[in-house]
A and B are shown apart, each in its own frame.
Chain A
Amino acid sequence: MIVTFTINGRSCQIDVPGDHRLLDVLRVNLGLTGTKEGCGEGECGACSVLLDGQVVNACLIPVAQVDGAQIVTVEGLEAAGGGPLQEAFVALGAAQCGSCTPGMLMSAYGHFLESLRNGDDPQDREGIRHALAGNLCRCTGYQKIIDAVSKGYEELARMPSLPPAAPAPQTGHNDPSHGGGPGHGSLTG
């Protein structure tokens, strides 16, 4: 079938069987090998991508399901506004072998966007731990990952606006009591 979707801000149309995994379409058909396969069963999170602003495991998504959707992979994370997370991962030693890193970053950025949508404080450390619980890492003990996510969120909160590639928040983003920083009230979407 012909599937049309937006990938990292660019529209894309491909002709593949609709039951092919989004993961294979990204890696094989589109050559976006940044998204990793860790288990193929939705257990490890290495293939996490953003699908319309939500974190999904690309190994569990038949490509037919993404028709008309917006997808962001690690290759598009910087343009989508996640650059501060990437910088923090490098600076604080959150990437070791790097296999879980792309998925971890996408989950972290997804959690940030979701926190904004729900009016939650993304900085809550237990909240970060739960948001990343579906992303397995065998190198770090998660300590430096959580530290880096937290630092990345700080930087994100300082940014005057997120780039257009970031999906628009739906609710609660103006509530100053959540203390997420000045970024909350000025998202442009």
Chain B
Amino acid sequence: MSVGESVARKDGPDKVRGLTRYIDDHNPAGCWFGATVRSAIPHGRIKNISFPKGTRWDRFVMATAKAIPGRNCVPFLTEDLVLLADGYVRYVNEPILLIAGPNHDEVERAARAVEIDYEPLPAILTLDEAIAAGTTDGCQVPRPLHIRRGDIEEGFARADTIVEGTYRVGHQEHVYLETNGFIAWWEPDGRVVVKGSMQCPYYVQRALKMLFALPGEKVEVIATPTGGAFGGKEDFPSVLAGHAALLSREVGRPVKMVYNRTEDFTSTTKRHPARVHYRTGVDKEGTFTACSVDFVLDGGAFITMSPVVLSRGVIHASGPYHYPAIEIHGRCYATHTPPNGAFRGFGVPQVFFGIERHVDRIAARLGMDPVEIRRRNLLKPGMRTATGQLLRDGVSAAEVLADAVDRSGYRERSKRPAPGPGEPRRGVGLALYMHGAGFTGSGEARMKSLVGMRLTRSGRVEILTASTDMGQGTRTVFPQIAARAMNIDVDQVFVAEPDTARVPDSGPTVASRTVTIVGRVVQQLAETLARRILRFVAEEQGGGPDGYALQGTHVLSREHGTPVGTLADIAARMTEASGDVYLEQGYTLNPDIRWNEETHEGDAYPVYAWGCTVVEVALDPDTLEVQTTQVTASHDIGTVVNPVLAEGQVEGGVAQSIGYGLYEEVHWHEGRMLNPGFTNYVIPTSVDLPDIDAGFVENPFPDGPFGAKGLGELPIHGAAPAIANAIAQATGIDVCELPVTPERLLAASNAAAQGARDDRHDPASETKKGEAT
């Protein structure tokens, strides 16, 4: 019974002793170091690259796009991203030239000494500029998406009040503590091997196949223990692996490239900035009658992951609510800034800041309680989502809302007496949300994630999967699932190192899909392996397989309840008799799932996970600094496989969301990040966060392993909007942009004061059906 138990993470003992070897802890003999020469301008043509005197250039090896033997392309959903700029640059810090040498510091100095002349071209640097311009030179964009359901005109006509609002969010950096890094080398047989920090070994393999015009068996990708990722090591590692492999090919030695923090900040992907506009019709009782959503993303200079980030945002833009009529329009613009990419939540935190702020503003306008307006409109079993998906079971919006409200003391806390002069203003806010786990629509049917499972000669069970462990616990929860399915000790099960030469393609470690999708295959394989073992025992010992059972480290006779042998002995005889005991199986998507990619209609996800976060804040009336003082979260992730690991995911997600809400902001000047360090890109420290109460409501998902849904992304949706709602409650200041810095609060406060003065002369605001922006 290891599912549901807080099994200590298997890689824990090594991690606390400093024995875990991350990529920067490897130094192969004869290894050279690589560095990257990058664009100094956001948009333009490269006129000349020169190598000034003062550097012994003959001691280094260099590579440009010309050295790429295959296509100069790092493929994701499209094939627009180049590995190295070839005569034309589209963002500041776009890689142009690679340089390698035997000494790390000398290579860095040499890279800085390279001189590049440009012919600058006009650049589009912000989402607003991109919207105004309509197109961005040299850049492609994904197709716009539209969802329409119900009669919008009729819905708005029947509304008693219409509330509008525009909500904005900027970039967010992942800040995994381990920066991006790779080591690459070429084997004498023409194989390229790369190892590094990543989420998706087979994405990296696909990129290297295209870059070097090699078949899959000539490209080996090994994922080292990964020191945090959060989506930031979904897409970018394919680029860095390509750089290291290209340099290694030129040098003829292993090449190591590990970014320092500044380079990681300035040159890798971030969360997409977004603007989302909501227009919601509501009747007198507070029931939504119609909603119109316009969602706009800044994709940066290349498409990379933007089509699916946009799609996920659009699908989740209706939130956990029911609307008789809704239209959602999503567009992604390009800017001459670094490509934005995958980041925990994947387009959804952007829309949830909008929805959950907007719902509170509707409540305020109607004089309704924020809990009551949500309760009145939330999705229930039997209802349809904006995509027309009929929700059957596993719908827990009402439960998580009630649980978080009760445990947090939300009601009592919202009725605090007004503070005295100089005392902190306290407020409490909440956000309700959901997240669809796994790929959208029929994506999992196309992916068919393969998992392997081997019974070793010594009676241990090895799980072979491309799912990496970046801290979330893959190496612990997969064994728990297999152990439960086989009824054996969790110590009997282990996960193989993700190496494309050994493990099948179980898909990328993304989209909260590891437990609920790949874990489901682990469960099924384990059940098959258990049956196979018992069949073997029955053949050996007589009787049918049903006469035997696995337990712990043994096989028992059911009749006598006594052991008939150890798993180790039986495994040895099985391998003796039939060779390698290895099974492989793919994921089968529930065939009832119907999805139309063109119209975005149908079953967007097999199931949703649900959450509610309540945050209390204290605001200093003089400095306008905000401190979170209490966080209570409630999540339905189906069956909780490992409570301690699951709580850790929630607490970490809440922390990142608090950072998004209050502190984290990328400052730009002419396309260049101005704050690429921890001094001025501020993430929460231990003194910035309160204790976080992470609770669960378990509403099992029949198609997940032992009822588990997805978890990783869900908890990042709540705290940021809840903080803004709490600030509004405490101060009356309506903040519609993140992060809520003191500067932004002051501006919003001044704007509100100005608006109040204007309103006194504006008869429209008195009408019953006025529109508030």
Which residues of A are in contact with B by a Cβ distance under 8 Å?
27-28, 32-41, 43-44, 46, 73-75, 77-78, 86-87, 89-93, 95-102, 105, 128-130, 132-146
Contacts and interface: CB of A to CB of B under 8 A. Distances in A.
B320 to A, nearest CB: 23
Contact of A136 (B15, B174, B648, B683): B683
Interface stretch (B221-229, B345-353, B428-436, B601-609): B221-229
Contacts of A86: 16-17
B260 A35 contact: no
Given A38-B261, A129-B686, A144 B20 contact: no
Interface string B685-729: 111010110100000000000000000000000000000000000
B471 interface: yes
Interface stretch (B120-128, B208-216, B651-659): B651-659
Contact of A98 (B225, B229, B261): B225
A141 to B, nearest CB: 3
Given A34-B17, A36-B178, A75-B18, A138 B12 contact: no
B472 A138 contact: no
B678 A44 contact: yes
A99 B22 contact: yes
Interface string B18-57: 1111101101000000000000000000000000000000
B534 to A, nearest CB: 34
18 contacts: A28-B27, A33-B21, A35-B18, A36-B24, A36-B177, A38-B179, A41-B678, A44-B177, A95-B9, A97-B226, A101-B16, A102-B16, A133-B687, A134-B685, A136-B678, A138-B174, A143-B689, A144-B651
B678 A43 contact: yes
A129 B689 CA distance: 9
Interface string B228-257: 111000000000000000000000000000
Interface string B487-510: 000000000000000000000000
B687 A140 contact: no
B677 interface: yes
Contacts, number: 169
B678 A99 contact: no
A133 B22 CA distance: 24
B648 A139 contact: yes
Nearest to A92: B644
Interface centre among B16, B176, B644, B677 (most CB of A within 10 A): B16
Interface centre among A100, A128, A136 (most CB of B within 10 A): A136
Contacts of B692: 141, 143
Contact of B18 (A37, A74, A96, A129): A74
B501 to A, nearest CB: 25
B645 interface: yes
Contacts of A91: 8
Contacts of B226: 97
Given A92-B644, A136-B683, A99 B655 contact: no
A140 B678 CA distance: 18
Nearest to A143: B651
B175 interface: yes
B655 A144 contact: no
Interface in B372-397: none
Closest 5 pairs (CB-CB, A-B): A34-B18, A97-B471, A141-B651, A141-B655, A99-B227
A64 to B, nearest CB: 18
B6 interface: yes
A23 to B, nearest CB: 11
B647 interface: yes
A101 to B, nearest CB: 5
A43 B689 CA distance: 18
A78 B18 CA distance: 11
Contact of A37 (B19, B24, B27, B684): B24
Given A96-B652, A129-B686, A143-B692, A89 B177 contact: no
B470 interface: yes
Nearest to B657: A141
B773 interface: no
A105 B16 contact: yes
B527 interface: no
A40 B647 CA distance: 31
B105 to A, nearest CB: 10
Contacts of B178: 36, 38, 97, 99
B102 to A, nearest CB: 14
A27 B261 CA distance: 17
B578 interface: no
A140 B227 contact: no
A5 B16 CA distance: 24
B686 A97 contact: no
Contact of A133 (B11, B652, B685): B685
Contact of B175 (A28, A35, A133, A138): A138
B623 interface: no
Given A39-B678, A73-B18, A97 B8 contact: no
Contact of A97 (B17, B21, B470, B689): B470
B13 interface: yes
A138 B16 contact: no
Nearest to B176: A138
A37 B227 CA distance: 11
B679 interface: yes
A40 B260 contact: yes
B178 to A, nearest CB: 4
B656 A41 contact: no
A90 B17 CA distance: 10
B652 A138 contact: yes
Contacts of A90: 8-9, 12-13, 15-16
Contacts of A41: 261, 677-679
B616 to A, nearest CB: 16
A37 B104 CA distance: 15
Nearest to B470: A97
B141 to A, nearest CB: 31
Contacts of A137: 177, 686
Nearest to A125: B691
Nearest to A147: B691
B260 A138 contact: no
Contacts of A146: 686
A16 to B, nearest CB: 13
Contacts of B684: 141
A40 B678 CA distance: 10
Interface string B517-548: 00000000000000000000000000000000
Contacts of A75: 17-19
Nearest to B693: A143
B129 to A, nearest CB: 31
Given A90-B8, A144-B648, 10 more contacts: A33-B18, A36-B24, A38-B179, A93-B9, A100-B177, A129-B687, A132-B685, A133-B685, A140-B648, A142-B651
A144 B643 CA distance: 12
A136 B257 CA distance: 23
Contacts of A105: 16
A99 B177 contact: yes
Interface centre among B15, B18, B20, B645 (most CB of A within 10 A): B18
Contact of A138 (B25, B230, B694): B230
A34 B176 CA distance: 17
Contact of A43 (B179, B227, B651, B677): B677
A72 to B, nearest CB: 11
Contacts of A74: 16-18
B652 to A, nearest CB: 5
A97 B260 contact: no
A132 B678 contact: no
Interface centre among A38, A98, A145 (most CB of B within 10 A): A98
A97 B19 contact: no
A114 to B, nearest CB: 16
B644 A93 contact: yes
Contacts of A96: 9, 228, 471-473, 648, 652
B631 to A, nearest CB: 9
Contacts of B177: 36, 38, 44, 46, 97, 99-100, 136-139
